[in-house]
Amino acid sequence: MSRQIVLDTETTGLSAEGGDRIIEIGCVELVGRKLTGSNKHFYLNPGRDSHEDALKVHGISNEFLRDKPKFAAVADELLDYLQDAEIIIHNAQFDVGFLNKELELIGRPRFNEFVGSVTDTLAMAKEMFPGKRNSLNALCDRLGVDNSTRTLHGALLDAELLADVYINLTRGQDALLMDLDPGDNAGIVATPMDLRSFDLPVLLANEQEATAHEDVLKQLDKSSDGKTVWRSSVPVAVPFMA
């Protein structure tokens, strides 16, 4: 079965190239599109303070991170866990950019060399819902994912929410059967329905409806200077069908 890892990070700021670092990584595993419970979560000492704006987003204090491991200390564990999996990230360019910088600082290859592929749910959402807000919160609201516990950003919680969002984004019409074993449908044959077996009633327009319809036709005829097609043809009575 395919193995997917939904990943999210929190950082000290917005610019990896400008010196900002990762402070939290959350990973949630899906196998066969189902949660396995085999997750990974790290708090990291970034070696610098978070920007004030970043602190308002994630709420992880600089003091809390002082005794946490550096990225180098968890890199092997993280990369072994991610090895060859499809990585699902919301706004992948941001997170992968930070991961690449962390890997560069410890002399390791770029992130894409360790994983099977990277799927960006933000790009997916923009294609599915063009012109709409496609933040994680907006997608949770749109897709019916409960995000009531998300008062601040947190990498593991956001990864769990994104896993639910991703399943909803990619569910498709076959979702009604997603929990069934292939054998559950064995021997089931769809029988075509012959609509000729039904006695469908025919309801004719009453006098009031016919008059209203004629008034509309007159208005259209007037606005087109008498050039409407139906005025040049023999009128045909069309019954209303119920």
Flag whether pLDDT at 74 surpasses 60. yes
For the segment 114-173, what is each residue's pLDDT rounded down to a tens digit?
999 999 999 999 999 999 999 999 999 999 999 888 877 889 999 999 999 999 999 863
Note the pLDDT of residue 147.
87
- Give, for 3, the enclosing helix (H) or strand (E): strand 3-11
Q: Using CA atoms, how far apart are residues 113 and 72, in angstroms rounded to an integer?
A: 17
Mean pLDDT of the chain: 85
Q: What residues does each domain of the chain span?
A: 3-177
Find the mean pLDDT for residues 171-177: 46
Q: Among residues 41, 51, 90, 153, which one is catalytic?
A: 153
Cβ neighbours of residue 47 closer than 8 Å, sequence gap 6 or more: 21, 70
pLDDT score of 220: 75
pLDDT (tens digit, 9 = 90+) per residue, 47-60? Answer: 999 999 999 999 99
Per the annotation, the verdict on 153 as an active-site residue is: yes
CB of 2 closer than 8 Å to CB of 31? yes
Phi-psi region of 5 (alpha: psi -120 to 50; beta: other; left: phi over 0): beta
Provide the pLDDT for residue 180: 42
pLDDT digits (tens, 9 = 90+) for 11-28: 999 999 999 999 999 999
- Say whether pTM exceeds 0.75: no
Pairing status of strand 86-89 against strand 3-11 = parallel
Confidence of residue 101 (pLDDT cuts 50, 70, 90): very high
State how far the alpha carbon of 9 is from the alpha carbons of 126, 132, 157, 159, 187, in Å: 21, 24, 11, 9, 47
pLDDT value of residue 166: 96
Strands 202-203 and 3-11, sheet pairing: unpaired
CA dist 79 and 75 (Å) reads 6
Per residue in 182-234, pLDDT tens?
554 555 555 555 555 556 666 778 888 888 888 877 877 777 777 776 666 55
On whether the 3-177 domain is CATH 3.30.360.10, my answer is: no
Calpha distance 129→123 (Å, rounded): 10
